[in-house]
Amino acid sequence: MRFFDFRKPGTLFMKADRHAVPTPILATLVLLAAACGGDRGGQTVDVDGTLVPTRLQIATASVGGSYHPIGTAIAQVLSDNLEGVLATAENSSGSNQNIRMLDSGEIHFGLANAAITFPAVRGAGEFEKAFPVSAAISLQSSIAVIVSLRSSGITGIRDLAGKRVATGPAGGGWEYFVEPILAGHGVAWNQFQQIYENQANAMDLLKDGAVDAVVVGGSVPHVTITAATATDTLNYLQMDAAALDRISADYPFIRKFTIPAGTYAGQETDLQAADSGTAQLLVRTDADPDYVYLITKTIYEHRADIAGIHPAGREITPERAAMDIGIPYHPGSLRYFDEIGIWNPRTSPAE
């Protein structure tokens, strides 16, 4: 089985090196900018002995997916529980941009899909260097589902060879999980035509016959699938559980996920799908550990409040918040996870 090579975009290879993460050299002196998670500077407030920006910015994604609402919920919880702090969720083009804005010091925190952070911290794929970002906490899953129109005759993933497939927005980095998933099911990247479009527009293209299938990602139930079934009958392409286990051995951020029968109109049986990359809250690796500890602690202890604002918050659980999916956690977060006993790194199945 051959997968996407994070080291050389557009080529294939046998296995990604999950452990090839350069060890960051932390500064001896913690500057104020680093304490605030970047070079933004600005005013800070003392919260229980820790300096926190009075205006704390969290980059999310475009409106329409789950990143912006979960980011808004996190910002609300931080604002409510850190006196003197106003946290805001900022729109962006998503994971790729957020990682780069953290690197340049334009934001304090950013949401990113682990499938995109995985090559970013390794300086692999299209990332020109190893980006100095770490995970503060893991959030909701991002479930990949592939759909086609019932009238298309496309009933399995192998049927996508020679077809036009919408594989996410341009520059969104979806190829970092779509390619290994399809390759693991026998369809190489060069065997079909990629159409780059956001999910809502991609579903419109499917209805109009301009694409043959769409890869949808996000929280279940996917809003775009639910909306499409109001007017069209869809095929839901089953993934293979054994294939996903093999893929996960090389790409720990990809895991199998079962969507119960009846979740979508016309879905008569359980659907084997893939958790294609957990959403994580990222921060610069050189941020003050005490500051990151406080932010992580506040989010985790108030996860019920986040879930009350947006249902994706229900996935901030003891099992998921510190899950080991190949992305390094910030030392401040690890200290908190150790204290509450939820840090349990798994041995790489590739070893």
Contacts (Cβ under 8 Å, ≥6 apart) of 301: none
Asked if residue 5 lies in contact with residue 12, where contact means CB atoms within 8 angstroms, the answer is yes
pLDDT tens track for 55-71: 999 999 877 678 899 99
What's the token pair of residue 141? Answer: 């899953």
Q: What local confidence, expressed as pLDDT, does residue 223 receive?
A: 86
Which class for 160: exposed (0-12), middle (13-18), buried (19 or more C-beta within 10 A)?
buried
CA distance 316 to 313: 6
CATH of 141-275, one of 3.30.200.20, 1.10.10.10, 3.40.50.720, 3.40.190.10: 3.40.190.10
Confidence check: pLDDT of 345 > 90? no
Q: Where are the alpha helices (DSSP H) in 121-231?
A: 175-184, 199-208, 223-228
For residue 100, give the nearest of 70, 75, 121 by alpha carbon: 121
Q: Side chain identity at 23, as an amino acid letter?
A: T
For residue 296, give the nearest of 280, 308, 310 by alpha carbon: 280
Asked if residue 49 lies in contact with residue 36, where contact means CB atoms within 8 angstroms, the answer is no
- Looking at residue 82, the DSSP 8-state letter turns out to be S
Confidence check: pLDDT of 37 > 60? no
Q: What local confidence, expressed as pLDDT, does residue 328 receive?
A: 96
CA distance 123 to 7: 8
In Å, how far are 67, 275, 337 from 285, measured between CA atoms? 22, 26, 17
Q: What local confidence, expressed as pLDDT, does residue 147 receive?
A: 98
Contacts (Cβ under 8 Å, ≥6 apart) of 73: 305, 306, 309, 310, 313
Q: Do domains 13-19+32-140+279-340 and 141-275 have the same CATH topology?
A: yes
pLDDT tens track for 285-338: 999 999 999 999 999 999 999 999 998 999 999 999 999 988 999 999 999 999
Confidence check: pLDDT of 220 > 80? yes
| pLDDT interval class at 235 (50, 70, 90) | very high
Q: What local confidence, expressed as pLDDT, does residue 333 receive?
A: 98
Confidence check: pLDDT of 45 > 90? yes
Query: Where in the chain are the domains?
Result: 13-19+32-140+279-340, 141-275
**Which residue do the tokens 């590739």 mark?**
350
CA distance 281 to 164: 33
Fold exhibited by the domain 13-19+32-140+279-340: D-Maltodextrin-Binding Protein; domain 2 (3.40.190)
Q: What local confidence, expressed as pLDDT, does residue 64 receive?
A: 65
Q: What local confidence, expressed as pLDDT, does residue 61 receive?
A: 87
In Å, how far are 7, 129, 228 from 310, measured between CA atoms? 36, 35, 22
Confidence check: pLDDT of 237 > 80? yes
Query: What pTM, to 2 d.p., does this model score?
Result: 0.79
| pLDDT interval class at 87 (50, 70, 90) | very high
Q: What is the mean pLDDT of the chain?
A: 87
Q: What local confidence, expressed as pLDDT, does residue 22 receive?
A: 39
pLDDT tens track for 135-176: 999 999 999 999 999 999 999 999 999 999 999 888 778 899
For residue 280, give the nearest of 152, 147, 137 by alpha carbon: 137
Contacts (Cβ under 8 Å, ≥6 apart) of 304: 313
Among 14-18, 205-209, 320-324, the minimum mean pLDDT is found in 14-18
Q: What angle do CA 35, 308, 278 make, to 5 degrees?
A: 60
| pLDDT interval class at 18 (50, 70, 90) | very low
Q: What local confidence, expressed as pLDDT, does residue 198 receive?
A: 86
| pLDDT interval class at 41 (50, 70, 90) | low
Asked if residue 69 lies in contact with residue 312, where contact means CB atoms within 8 angstroms, the answer is yes
Residue 171 exposure: Cα atoms within 13 Å on the Cβ side: 10
